[in-house]
Amino acid sequence: MAFLYPENQVSQLGITNVTEKANFINQYHTTSIQLISTLAQILGGSAVLVGIYFAWKNFELAQATLKSDQEKFQKDFELAQEGQVTERFTRAVDQLGSEKLEIRLGGIYALERIANESEKDYWPIMEILTAYVRRNSPVELAESQDKISLDIQAILTVIGRSNYKQGESIILDPVHDSKHLDLSYTYLAGADFEGAHFEGVLFLMSHINGANFQKSHLEGANFGNAYLDGAHFEDAHLDGAYFGNAHLKKAFFVMPIQGAYIKGAHFLWTMFHGANLEGAHFEETHVSSAVFEEAHLEGAYFEGANFKKINLELTSPKSKSAKVTGDLSIFRGANLEGAHFEKAKYLTIDQLSKAKTLYNAKLDPELEIPLREKYPVLFENTEE
């Protein structure tokens, strides 16, 4: 009421002078107006804050709705996409059973595309493809077939280049990865593996004669009891590969295979020229006429290896027969530092005398004593 009727407030002050009374009334009017204006501003600001609050809540609600719609759309999209992949997968697998080669090839490459696009489908597809090879190119075909079929080669090519992460090839860890592709008991003669990735793959008992493994990645691969006669391994990566009891007649190795396990393997006319075989295991191997010229064999194991001389009857169109007799296992220029030759059979002084060094090599007395007497420099530490 004081705001509406300031005269009542002024009259209570007992002012009798008309001019002073008028001034006080004006001051009350001015103060009242200012107070009302301030209150209006406060109330207006509160209204704005309330408006902002409700606007923010509406925005949050809209955001939540939009997110929910996006998640639903994404889920629907993924389900639709998965359905398409499943349909493509099923159709591609069906194609593998076709009698027509071109249809089977189409199925193989369709599966490759799915494997590259879908991480979760990669292993099932690889297992399907390797199972196809085991079923359609079994080791028994070695008796009736000269080379592998086109669809088998296509599968090997697909496996060797398969990828699903930014173009990076799938690389198995042969030590820590429990998944190994299985191509055991298969006929893969003459197959082309050049530059392919087959780390940790099993080739047990397979016939892979004449195959091309040049520049391929075979770390940790298992070639136990496999037939690899005439195979080419130049510049291949074979660290930790297993060749136990494998047949490697006329095979070519010109590359590093540190730590390879080749126990019991058969080497006839096998070339290891310049190969890095540090720490490789050749125990009980048959290495007649194998060539280790300029190879690195530091710490390699040849215990019980058989270096027996060979007597071969070679035939050719120009000559009915030509007899080749020789002690052809060659270590010329090879680094045999710390290599193990205990109980090696038919190994000769002449063979070892051609080595670059025998420093710290482990030899039976009947070899070491005459070698030290005749070639003492071979046992000296050349790095000193």
Chain segment 167-196, per-residue pLDDT in tens: 344 444 444 455 689 999 999 999 999 999
Spell out the domain ranges in the chain: 6-79
**Is the model's pLDDT at 4 over the cut of 60?**
no
Lowest-confidence pick of 71-75, 118-122, 278-282? 71-75
Question: For residue 270, how far is the Cα from the chain centroid?
Answer: 29
pLDDT of residue 103: 97
Q: Above pLDDT 90, what percent of the chain?
A: 33
The stretch 98-127 carries a mean pLDDT of 93
The stretch 195-204 carries a mean pLDDT of 94
The stretch 103-115 carries a mean pLDDT of 95
SS3 assignment for the chain: CCCCCHHHHHHCCCCCCHHHHHHHHHHHHHHHHHHHHHHHHHHHHHHHHHHHHHHHHHHHHHHHHHHHHHHHHHHHHHHHHHHHHHHHHHHHHHHHCCCCHHHHHHHHHHHHHHHHHCHHHHHHHHHHHHHHHHHHCEHHHHHCCCCCCHHHHHHHHHHHHCEEECCEECCCCCCCCCCCCECCCEECCCCECCCCECCCCECCCCECCCCECCCCECCCCECCCCECCCCECCCCECCCCECCCCECCCCECCCECCCCECCCCECCCCECCCCECCCCECCCCECCCCECCCCECCCCECCCCECCCEEEEECCCCCCCEEEEECCCECCCCECCCCECCCCECCCHHHHHCCCECCCCECCHHHHHHHHHHCHHHHCCCCC
**For the ranges 56-65, 230-239, 268-277, 287-296, the one whose mean pLDDT is highest:** 230-239
Higher pLDDT, 267 or 243: 243
Instruction: Look up residue 370 and give its two tokens.
Output: 């005459």
Lowest-confidence pick of 148-152, 213-217, 232-236? 232-236
- Kindly tell me the burial class for residue 381, based on how many C-beta atoms sit within 10 Å of its own C-beta (0-12, 13-18, 19 or more): exposed
| pTM greater than 0.75 | no
pLDDT of residue 323: 35
Higher pLDDT, 249 or 181: 181
Instruction: Look up residue 94 and give its two tokens.
Output: 């069906």
The pLDDT mean for the chain works out to 79
Among residues 224, 222, 219, 212, the alpha carbon closest in space to that of 188 is found at 212
- pLDDT-derived band of residue 284, with 50, 70 and 90 as boundaries? confident
CA angle, corner 245, sides to 244 and 247, nearest 5? 115
Lowest-confidence pick of 46-60, 245-259, 321-335? 321-335
pLDDT of residue 55: 73
**Is the model's pLDDT at 221 over the cut of 70?**
yes
pLDDT of residue 181: 92
Question: For residue 176, how far is the Cα from the chain centroid?
Answer: 12
The stretch 342-360 carries a mean pLDDT of 90
